[in-house]
Structure 1
Amino acid sequence: MPSTSEPSRPIDAYGPLIQSLHHQPLLVVLRAERPLDLRERLARLEGLGVRQVEIAWSGHPQWSAQCAWLRMAFPRLNLGAASVVGRDALEAAAAAGLAYAVSPVLDEDLLSQARQCGLALVPGVMSPSDVHRARQLGCPVVKLFPAITVGSGYWRRLRDPLGPLPVCVAAGGLAVPDVMPWLEAGVDAVALGGRLDAPDAWSALGDLIGRLADLPRRC
């Protein structure tokens, strides 16, 4: 187990993700038992101009191989793994050559294992204690989860008592219309997942991509 002074990963490991979020502060999370079942949705997202897509870990025996195929088939997408809570998922993400992994929890052992796998892991945080601990562990990017439970102004309210904060991806229960208000309220990026199944969500996503292109660069 690493000491409190040992960073979970050198910041350079997170550089590509931070740079990508700097250009487009959005991630899309997709779920399917078989990653190859996501081909049509990935093609559609690529066509819309989405940059970052997380593929949720499922435990399918071909998960790594199929994600590796998707990574090669969609080179313009920055693919990562979502819902990572154990070593098996981390190792599968690393084996697939994915760019990063995202967890709903802050787990020191998981961060240490991610370092051993050579993978940048974005941990989930909620409380001020979580944020402080993630910062002690050297996490340059965190996931505020579930964001919908705390409201869009929550992250900004942590800045005065806690000081400089990591790059924040707000995730959990947010829809396309929430993205701009949350960015304006101070988070660095927003992740969209299940609520993309709502009527008209994909057409709204296309409009959003255009609006994000006009924003000043973040992160």
Structure 2
Amino acid sequence: MEVKQNNLIKSLRIQPLIVVIRLENNFFNISDKRENLLLKIEKLSNCGIKNIEIGWDSNPEWVNLILQIKKKFKSINIGVASITSRQSLDSIRSLDINYSMSPYFNKEIHLKAIKYNQLVIPGISNIENFKEAINLGYKIVKIYPASKLGVKFINELQGFKKKDMFFIGAGGIKSKNLKSLLKLGYDALVIGKELRNQKPDKDLKIWLKNC
């Protein structure tokens, strides 16, 4: 897990942004949705996005979808969002995924992930879980929901953090606020539904140009 953490941190230091794409309802029942997803990823890639997370889905075809995306977009660091159960954790074990994330801290899931050498970054919303994550060997955590927890919370975490801790902010992040949030102490940010239909907007294009 340590190697995967170091590799992700290295990638995010180059470009401190992850775009999350969650699958639409009935995604696997409508063939056009798969093609639209691939086109969406291609547009993000052409715009310069380097890190993309795809939301986990219980549909058996989901694994093949991720394999297809990995094969087609080799220049993108592909991850998986919403690992919250044993089923979701088991489904990523065969995918050779570089990273995944959980919206909250689930010690049982994280212990199993570590055992399987899977990087499942914990979502942190309180100091107690932050300390537990550190004790498990995490040096990268997701602060979620960042927009609601505010600057006070990240300042509080910084008072406890080790020198090598890496903070990812997620939840309610808008592209127009990327620059200011990174200055407040986040090492990287996750943007999802606040980016309309996950299409690069004017603010994101400006930020990428100056990144």
Say whether the fold is shared (TM-score over 0.5). yes
Q: Could you tell me how far apart the structure 2 residues matched to 1:139 and 1:149 are?
A: 23
How many residue pairs align between the two structures? 202
Question: Do the aligned residues in 2 keep the contact of 1:80 with 1:93 (CA within 8 Å)?
Answer: no
Which residue in the other structure is 1:29 paired with? 20
Equivalent residue, structure 1, for 2:7: 16
Gaps of 5+ in 2: none
Query: Residues 29-178 of structure 1 correspond to what in structure 2 (within 5 A)?
Result: 29-32=20-23, 33-34=27-28, 36=34, 37-160=36-159, 162-164=160-162, 166-178=165-177
Contact persistence 2:79–2:99 (CA under 8 A): yes
Partner Cα separation in structure 2 for residue 85 and residue 126 of structure 1: 15
Q: Give 1:138 shift.
A: 0.9
Give the Cα separation in 2 of the matches to 1:122 and 1:102. Answer: 4
Check 1:199–1:141 CA distance in 2 against 1; reply closer, same or farther (3 A cut): closer
Could you state the TM-score of these two structures normalised by the residue count of structure 2? 0.88
Post-superposition offset of 1:172: 0.4
More deviation, 60-69/192-201: 192-201
Aligned partners of 2:134, 2:50: CA distance in 1, in Å?
A: 26
Query: Shift of the alpha carbon at 1:153?
Result: 4.7
Find the residue that maps to 1:45 and give its secondary structure.
helix
- 2:210 paired residue number: 211
**Alpha carbon RMSD of aligned pairs, Å?**
2.0
Contact 1:65 1:96 in 2 (8 A): no
1:95-144 per-residue CA deviation (whole Å, 9 max, x = no partner) reads 22221110011111111221233211100001111211111111111000
Shift in Å, 1:158: 2.8
Distance 2:190 2:156 in 1: 20
Cα offsets for 1:68-92 (capped at 9, x unmatched): 1100100011000001101211222
What residue in structure 2 maps to residue 215 of structure 1? none
Change (3 A) 1:51 1:115: same
CA distance in 2, matches of 1:174, 1:57: 20
Query: Residue 16 of structure 1: CA displacement?
Result: 1.4
